[in-house]
Amino acid sequence: MMYTIGIDLGGTNIATAVVNENFKILGKGELPTNADRDALSIAKDMAKTVDMACEAAGVSKESIEWIGVGSPGAVNKKTGVIEYANNLHFSNVPLKQYIEELTGIKCYVENDANAAAYGELLAGAGRGYSDMVAITLGTGVGGGVIIDGKIFDGSNSFGAELGHTVIMVDGERCTCGRDGCWEAYASATALIRQTKAAMEADKDSYMWKIADSLDQVNGKTAFDGMRAGDQTATAVCEKYIEYVACGITNMINIFQPQILCIGGGISKEKDNLLIPIKAYVEANRYSKEAKQQTELKIAQLGNDAGIIGAAMLGKLYQ
């Protein structure tokens, strides 16, 4: 049996697991990232979670084939250097070198969204496919592109930033500094902002019974209001879904993947999200006459996608 380790390095937590060759998680270790620290201190805690995961799995470190890390930001997978990750305050951090020196185990490093997409391809919604786009609707709009079974990230490691394609010229300012990005309209953060604006405009909306104050609004508030029959909430959801579907149609028109899967917290709405997106894509896609059409699915692995994908990076880069 082959054992590898996957580390999902997030802005909040370091989540690590021992994974076997059948993509099963055998044991986990987790510590807070405390992202304001220097990179080496974070790497030392990553190494600690490796020990924790091995202990939880009942597996010795000597039996681990490799460690794979999914990190935010632009990752040079050839050198294992995090060239830039704003939420971790990383700039040209040699993470591969740090992890290998601290653990004595070979390490591969990849962008976290790419690692999650690879995990979904191997063990989740994309199993059995070779060409896939994965979208994550969370704090931002994450994206991963798999072409012929391999992760695509461009010539300079900055590729596949799908959330930073524009769907509204001169639109709302995105955190990246550009106006009108898909992320500025289709992320969970954007949905919360849209929900609050609608509630302020309609003091009689049922959403005020769901969230007593604007501070309590979350990504479910509008969908819960829609289920309760509230017209204002329904309008928020319909417009939000249109934003999501517009970007998804763009991705399909560009890549024509076998499958596009949608993950992140908002994806828990499942058919409330998927059915209208499918209708929008059907009406607007370029490939109406093609015999083979992109299949749309909800992602299956949740937070484990990044860990499983990272754990399998050695299959790509050995």
* CATH (domain of 169): 3.30.420.40
Which tokens is 219 given? Answer: 């990504």
Q: For the chain, how big is the Rg over CA atoms in Å?
A: 20
What does residue 200 show for φ and ψ, rounded to 5 degrees? -65, -30
> Mean pLDDT of all residues in the chain?
95
Residues 218 and 277 occupy one common structural domain: yes
Examine the domain organization and report whether 146 and 289 are in the same domain: yes
pLDDT in tens, 225-269: 999 999 999 999 999 999 999 999 999 999 999 999 999 999 999
Number of neighbours of residue 38 by Cβ within 10 angstroms: 11
Question: Among 146, 219, 176, which Cα is nearest to 73's?
Answer: 176
What is the average pLDDT across 211-230?
97
User: Which DSSP letter does residue 111 get?
Assistant: E
One domain, residues 114 and 151: no
Looking at the fold, whether 33 and 145 belong to one and the same domain comes out as no
Q: Where are the beta strands (DSSP E) in the chain?
A: 3-9, 13-20, 25-32, 64-71, 74-76, 81-85, 90-93, 107-111, 132-137, 141-147, 150-152, 259-263, 295-298
Residues 137 and 241 placed together within one structural domain of the fold: yes
Whether pLDDT at 318 is above 80 = no
pTM score, whole prediction:
0.91
CB 20 within 8 A of CB 40: no
b (16+ CB within 10 A) / e for 113-139: bbbbbbbbbbbbbbeebebbbbbbbbb
Assess whether 293 and 312 both reside in one domain. no
- In a shared domain, residues 239 and 159: yes
Number of domains in the chain: 2
Pair (46, 91) in one structural domain: yes
Q: What is the mean pLDDT of residues 185-199?
A: 97
Whether residues 311 and 276 fall in one domain = no
Domain that holds residue 118: 3-122+304-317
- On whether both 17 and 63 belong to a single domain, the answer is yes
Tokens linked to 121: 């391809």
Residues 163 and 281 in one domain: yes
Q: Looking at the structure, do residues 140 and 284 belong to the same domain, yes or no? A: yes
% residues pLDDT > 70 (the chain): 100
Can you give the pLDDT at residue 291? 87
